[in-house]
Each structure stands twice: as C-alpha cells, then as structure tokens.
Chain A
C-alpha cells in the first residue's frame, strides 16, 4: 500500500497525485532554456567591450623572473598589461592581467608576454604534509580501551572542483554615469555590495543582473570575486564596457574546490555494535592560506558514544577551497558510513540493523526502513560471501541538514491590466527559485501559475539571500505567502468597497472573484476596477523563522545497488534509492530534480573526480573536462527519489542534503561486494584491484 506521506518517483505515483503544491508545473524558464533564448552573463557581449585575462602562475610555487611587456604592448589591440605580483603560491594564482580589444588580441598578447618563471618546491600531497600525529588523548584512549573490539582505519578523499559549466566572470555594460553588471553569481546582492567603489558609481547608478546562472554549487558565493572587482576597476578606468570570464582551465584552478580529506578513526565498540568511544581525527587539504578544509565527522547523526573529534587544516600549494554543496559533509559522511560498515562486519551484524540502532533521529530511522524496502535490502548478500568475477553489493548512508534563517523581502504586484508580478532579487542557479516563487504566489493568491510573471535576479528588486546553505526556498516561500496574502487582502478590500459587498463576502479562487458561492467578476474586470496597482509585501527574517513551527531540519537515507567487475576493477552502479525529507513540497518535479542532481554529483564524486597535482611541479595536470572526469550519461544508474512529506507543513532545505550520503553508500556497497574495504575516494579501478589483492592475501 502506498503511504500517503511518501511521494514515489514521478513516473510512478498513482496514489499520490496532488500531494505537492503543484505536481505538474514545469520550470517557468523552460522555454527560454530549450530555445537558447536564455541569456547568461557569459552570453552578454556589449559592443565596444574590452576583454581581460589574468596572468597566472603556472607552477605550485613560482617566481616571476621576467616578462616581455613591451612586446605584448606592441600587439595590435593590446591596451595594457599590469603585473602586480612577483610570486604565485599555487597553479593559477593571479599575478596581473592584460586588457585588449578582442579575445584574439588577448591571446596573441599573452604569448608575446612570454613570462619566465622560476619553479620552487611545492607542497602537493596531504598525506606527506600532515606531519607527526599527536598521540591519542587520555579520555579517548580510556573510551577506546573500554570496548571489546576496536577499529583503527584511515579514510581519504580527493579534491573535487565545482566545474560549473558557466565559468566565473562578469560582463559590464559601463556608461560614464551608470552600469549594468551581468554576473554569473549565487548572490545578486553580494555582487552589488562590493562594486560601488570599484565602479566609482553610487549604488543607485548601477544594477547587477543575473537572470540565468550556469551552475555554481557554492563557488559563486561571496561577492563579486576577483573577476568582478578587476573588471569593474577597468570599466571605470577606461570608461568602457568590459568582458571578463574565466576559461575552463582557470575555472578548475582558481574558483574554489571541495578540499581533500584524511580521517583517522580509532574507536572501541562492543560485540553488539554499540560504539563505546574513542577519537576521530580529521585533516583537510587547503590552499596556501590554510583555511576552509572542514571534514564533518562525527556528524552527530549517529550515537558514537564518547568519541572525541579533532581537526586540522593542512596547507598545500594548490587552489583554495570554497563552499561546495554541503561543505565538509560528503567527505565526513564517506568516512562515517564506511566506519559503521566495518564495525558491523566485525560484529557479524547487518549494517542496516546496526544503523537503526545508532541513528539518533526517529524520522531518519523510518526513512532508512522505507529505503531498504524500496531497494530490496533483503536480497543483500553477506559481505565477502561472493566469489564470482562480477559481484553485487548494496550499501546505505544517511543525511541531515539544518534550516538556516535568511532575510527575504517579497513583493506581489497586481496591476490594473490584470497582470501579476512576483518580485525578488534572489537568483535562480538551476534550483528552480523562479518557479518556486511563481507556484507559491499563484497558489496563495488563488490564480493559475501562468497568470504570474516572476521577476528575479536583479539587484533593483527586493532584497533576498544568496543561494547557499539551502536557504532560498525555505526562506522565500514564507515571504511570498505573506506577500500574496497581503496583496489578496488589499485587493479584496478595494473590491468590497467598489462592489458594495459585505466584509469577508469576496474571495479569489481559480482566478475568479467569488462572491459567496458564485463567481462574481472575472480577474481582468476586477483588476480594471482597482483605482491603482496593488502591492503586497512580505518579509522573512530570523524572528519569523523562529516563530514558524511548521518546518525544521531535513533528513534522508540513500541506498545503492551496484556491480563490480573483479577482473577490471570497474564499478557499475545499478540503482540508487534516495528518500529525502521535504516537508511541504512546492514543486514535485523540481524537488525530484534537486534530489536526482545531488545523487548524480555524489556518484560522480565517489567514482571519478580527482584533481591531480604533479608531484614535482605542483601543477594541476587535468584542468579540463576530459581528464577531470565527471559522470556522464553512460554512468547513470536508475535513480528513484522518494519525497518524504511526513514531517511538517512548511518547506524544508533540499539543495545540499541529497548529495551528502551518496558517496558513502556507494563505498559501503563496494565493501559488501568485495568483502574488503576501499577506504579512499574516488573508487577507481586501481584501488579496487589493490584492495582485492591485499584482501585475498590476508
């Protein structure tokens, strides 16, 4: 029997139709995106633009010995070369920039510049830079000793680059007393905030526009960035439009990444799987500035007894980390889920049974049981029991995410011509913010979705948050409900007067003004009766969030079914079931897309993604999309998102949580198939074969 609080995948939902605010709505920007009409920042070529490129360090540590500025300046079309630094501390570090009239002039100028670099020794390996490990703490040692068994293991993950398909940058349409900044950003307003001094304009004189953004995943948070700042300064200096976007290599090298990690687990546990305690020590591989390497384990999702945590960031000569979809979590989740599977194996326990004992949240326990039924966990074979060439494995992982408050101002405008506008400056980076705003507004107002025009992604619109921390939908939805209710109340008040109706007699349903039980006035005629346009306002802030009891944290559980070829070491993931707490689903299709997308990124992280640094030079050897491998169509399993709507009537954060447990669940499934753990991501064939070799010798 389908459970009415669970929404099965879209193509299989006979019993659940109508369970979200809008089951069938498609993205409002779908037509723009399938016809090529959608203009991203990188698509805006303003006539007479200057083109700018950064001069970058080619080595892990490089000293700029000489360059031929004069030759570069002689190239027709090159306007200026500015070299501001003498040294770079990572491959891709900027030491200056060149300005030219065209991309072609820029590339000729760059080759004429002929920078000569002296290469110095670079730190490229996390394992080698960790240094002397401090001894285990006294309390942790005591807890460790209390268990009847112990696990000592090292887990590691490699650096993942965001690889947004639209690279970082801006196109600035600069006129002497005004400017429009077309930015590829996750924070319309944070870009605005950083540019007034650079553009030498007042905030009222320029607008930041990002109606379409080609991905970001965390890397486009935090202001205009060096791309925006440099372009703005050049625009003001030359009084001309400027176009500055990174190329693919620069995007890998210098726009952030998910740091690598090492997790050293020393825990004691009893024969029944109870974790007594011990120590989990983590290290994060970061850039030369030594920050941002968080690795979130223990996550707090499991009862791990008296387990102490310690963390240290380790500096490397490599591009610096930035927030990446659930920062610190996939790394930590991989280590934690693998650790639990190894404990279960040592105790002869089913890993699901062990988790059901250790998971702190009752809701996540229910989701885990549901996911296990959906994947067919009963068919899972005991770990290490298979001897064939191709072996099957099942694994699982869980997730959780907090609900973070953010300030949102929302406006719903009803015009006398019958048009309706929902307005907020917050951008849509692919999450579906635009559509979510439209659905919430239309259903609150009582009109159809296509009656509402959504205006987003402009700094001249009401202020909203950046797309980080999964905050946009959960904080924007209440603001737009309030704004639409305000607009509706004002409209009905005005109409009550004009129609000589009793207070409370009028209502709006299906885009028609209702008077008691009957349809009284069509929408357009009603709007024509209004003396002026109506503006409904709504806000969301810390106080409204604290007062709202309908929403809360998010949780989930994922299950993986895979095959591994023990002769080649190649893994083929067959199925992934993702149960995700969603609260009240605004848009069914878009909610599912967030989950599917998170799972696919997690799969790609688990199996393929690896920023490779040359040990000698410190250069990244795969700053492209053929050797930095991202999962493609042929790597896809069947993915079954299950929306869990049991816990509350408010929206829940959905962007980040689905990508957290996927890699750990895949690694656990691999352990189940092989009988020997692979403790290092990505799970490449060489590691699988090495693990098999050492496992079979043991």
Chain B
C-alpha cells in the first residue's frame, strides 16, 4: 500500500494516499454538518412580520452581488423568481419539494433549497447561486476539480452539488470523506457521479483523493 507522502499523480498533481488512511482520518474527525441540518436553521428574515398580498409585491433580491428589483406574487418561490424572472437557470428545479438539492443556493451563509422558501423571504439577504461561484471569470478550485474528476455526467444535478460543496468547504475547509458524504446527503444524482464528486471535493480542499490498492 502506498505511503502518505508517496508519488505525485501526473494527471492532477495530487499526492496519493491510501483510501483506508483517508477513512481513518475521517473517523477521528469531529462534528459533522449536513445540508439537512443546515436547512433546519432558518435564515433570519430581514422583513418585518406583516400581511403581504394578495396582489403582487415589490422586492429586491441581492443575487451574486447584484440588486434585482422584482414584482412577484407573494406565493412565488425563490426558485421560480431566480429561474423565471431573473433568468438564472443554473439553479435547477428537480423535485420541487426539498428532497433533491438541485436548487441549493447560499443565503446569508446558509445552504438552502430555493424551492422551499418564498422569494419575498429572501429579500434583503445575500444570495449566491451557481452562477456566482466563479468570480471575474475564474472558476473556484472546486469547480475546476469537478471538471477534472468528471464529477458530472448529464450535469443537471451539478449546480446543486457544487453550491453545496462550495458551502461545505467554506464551513469546513478540510472535510473528511465522511463529512463530505453527510454534507451532500441532501443532493441526488441519477447518472451516478457521487464517488467522483467526493474526489473533487477532497482535491479542492488540498487532500488526497481516494485510491485503490495496486493489482498484483
């Protein structure tokens, strides 16, 4: 079995370490935050309680650093507002009831499902969607790692996985494999890219990717 400081993989410039060692490290790691747990912590609402509607209401959403003035029905979800009104369609509607993670966005530092809250409730908060991950044309390391490790096939779940991964890396800069699995447990991929996603997140956090014993 290779040692922790062993050879450099020529493909991705990452040093190799054994899968079991990675596992061992993760077992020792402390608290695990999951997207599900994060979702329970409701973001603080910036607006005063009151009656809205039934007619359309005017709101301002701060999306990826840009103010967006919208007139929405009170029942419009954040997901609908992003996709239909603002035209940011990277955030996907897949299950439309908070069970797939396809519409993950970051709202005031919390990971939320955009289908599970009203657009009006997001007014005043700072929102980051998948379109806002890359800044100034430069991809984030985790985006580059997704491409390098082929952590996407059809790509429809990818925005949700990326936003959740970016959020995880901000909360936990060096997550263990177990922490990565738990953090992404609110996301579903149908093509079957999970193991490549794990490798992408490990690499983006400067950690060795999963490897297998050499066939002898």
Residues of A within 8 A of B (CB): 1-3, 6, 8-12, 14, 17, 23-24, 26-27, 29-40, 42-43, 45, 103-104, 163-166, 212-215, 217, 247-248, 370, 373-374, 429-432, 589-590, 592-593, 596-601, 624-626, 630-634, 636, 638-640, 642
A8, B155: Cβ atoms closer than 8 Å? no
Contact A596 B196 (CB under 8 A): yes
Closest to A30 in B: B147
Question: Does A163 contact B185, Cβ atoms closer than 8 Å?
Answer: no
Residue of A nearest to B149 (CB): A589
Cβ 8 A contact of B185, one of A11, A590, A633, A640? A633
Task: Name the one of B150, B197, B210 contacting A638, with C-beta atoms under 8 angstroms.
Answer: B210
B70 within 8 A of A: no
B89 interface neighbour in A27, A34, A36, A626, Cβ under 8 Å: A36
B99 at the interface (CB under 8 A from A): yes
- Asked if B154 and A36 make an inter-chain contact with CB atoms under 8 angstroms apart, the answer reads no
- Pick the contact of B182: A596, A599, A631, A634 (CB < 8 A): A634
Q: How far is the CA of A597 from the CA of B95 in the complex (A)?
A: 21
In the bound complex, CA of A521 to CA of B119 (Å): 58
Q: Is B89 touching A26 in the complex (CB atoms < 8 A)? A: no
CB distance from B125 to the nearest CB of A (A): 19
Q: How far is the CA of A142 from the CA of B112 in the complex (A)?
A: 65
A-facing mask of B179-216, CB < 8 A → 1, else 0?
01110110111111111111100000000011111111
Report yes or no: A593 in contact with B130, Cβ–Cβ below 8 A.
no
Tell me which of A29, A36, A593, A597 has the highest count of chain B C-beta atoms within 10 A of its own C-beta: A36
Q: Which of A35, A104, A630 contacts B188 (CB 8 A)?
A: A630
Q: A36-B90, A597-B191, A634-B185 given; name 6 further pairs at CB < 8 Å.
A: A11-B199, A14-B7, A34-B146, A45-B89, A103-B80, A599-B192
Q: Count the B residues whose beta carbon is within 8 Å of the partner chain — how many?
A: 73
Residues of the B chain whose Cβ atoms lie less than 8 Å from the Cβ of A164: 190
- A35-B130, A104-B75 known; A30 vs B152 contact (CB < 8 Å): yes
Other-chain contact of B190, A14, A163, A247, A638 (Cβ < 8 Å)? A163
Q: List 7 A-B contacts (CB under 8 A).
A: A11-B209, A30-B146, A215-B191, A248-B94, A625-B188, A633-B194, A638-B19
1/0 contact string of B117-157 vs chain A (CB within 8 Å) = 00000000000011101100001000100111110111111
Q: How far is the CB of B208 from chain A (nearest CB, A)?
A: 9
Closest B-chain residue to A626, C-beta based?
B99
A26-B150, A35-B134 known; A165+B156 contact, CB < 8 A? yes
B65 at the interface (CB under 8 A from A): no
Contact check, A34 vs B190: say whether CB atoms are below 8 A apart.
no
Name A215's closest neighbour in chain B (CB-CB).
B154
Residues of B within 8 A of A8 (CB): 212, 214-215
The verdict on A636 contacting B181 (CB below 8 Å), with A30-B152, A165-B154, A624-B99 known, is yes
* A-facing residues in B159-196 (Cβ within 8 Å): 159, 162, 180-182, 184-185, 187-196
**B158–A431 contact, CB under 8 A?**
no
What's the least CB distance linking B79 to chain A, in Å? Answer: 11
Complex alpha-carbon distance, A593 and B148, angstroms? 12
Name B187's contact: one of A40, A593, A597, A633 (CB within 8 Å). A633
In the complex the two chains form, what is the Cα distance from A36 to B193 in whole Å? Answer: 17
Say yes or no for B30: interface residue by CB 8 A criterion.
no
Contact A215 B156 (CB under 8 A): yes
Give every chain B residue within 8 A of A35 (Cβ-Cβ): 90, 130-131, 133-134, 139, 143
| B49 part of interface (Cβ distance < 8 Å) | no
Task: Mark interface residues in B62-96 (1 if CB within 8 Å of A CB, else 0).
Answer: 00000000000101100010011001111111111
